[in-house]
Amino acid sequence: MNTRFLIPAFLIIATIAFLVSLGLWQLDRADQKRTIEAAIVNANNGPVELIANGLELLDKEYFHVRLQGNYLSDKQFIYDNQIVDQVSGYYVLTPFILTDQLGVVLVNRGFIPWNGQREKLADIAVDSVSREIKVQVSSPIKRMELKATDVSRQFPVLIQAIDFDVLEEVSKLEFVKVVGLLDPSSSDGYVRKWEPYTGSIEKHIGYAIQWFLMALVLAIIGLRIVLKRRKK
The residue extents of the domains of the chain are 3-38+201-231, 63-182
pLDDT at position 78 is 95
| pLDDT confidence of residue 184 | 92
Confidence band of 141 (pLDDT split at 50, 70, 90): confident
The strand pairing partners of 180, in sequence order, are 107, 137
pLDDT (tens digit, 9 = 90+) per residue, 13-32?
899 999 999 999 999 999 98
Helix (H) or strand (E) holding 225: helix 201-231
Report d(CA 159, CA 115) in Å as an integer: 19
What's the pTM? 0.72
**Largest Cα–Cα distance in the chain?**
88
Q: Model confidence at 154, in pLDDT bands (50, 70, 90)?
A: confident
Listed in sequence order, the residues at least 6 apart from 162 whose beta carbon sits closer than 8 Å to its beta carbon are 79, 93, 106, 140, 142, 143, 179
Q: Left (φ > 0), alpha (ψ -120 to 50) or beta: where does 199 sit?
A: left
pLDDT at site 227:
77
Q: With 50 as the cut, is the pLDDT of residue 197 above it?
A: yes
Residue-level pLDDT at 146:
46
Mean pLDDT of 48-71: 91
How many whole angstroms separate alpha carbon 93 and alpha carbon 178? 12
**Residue 83 scores a pLDDT above 80:** yes
User: How far is Cα 232 from Cα 230, in angstroms, rounded to an integer?
Assistant: 5
Segment 32-60 mean pLDDT: 84
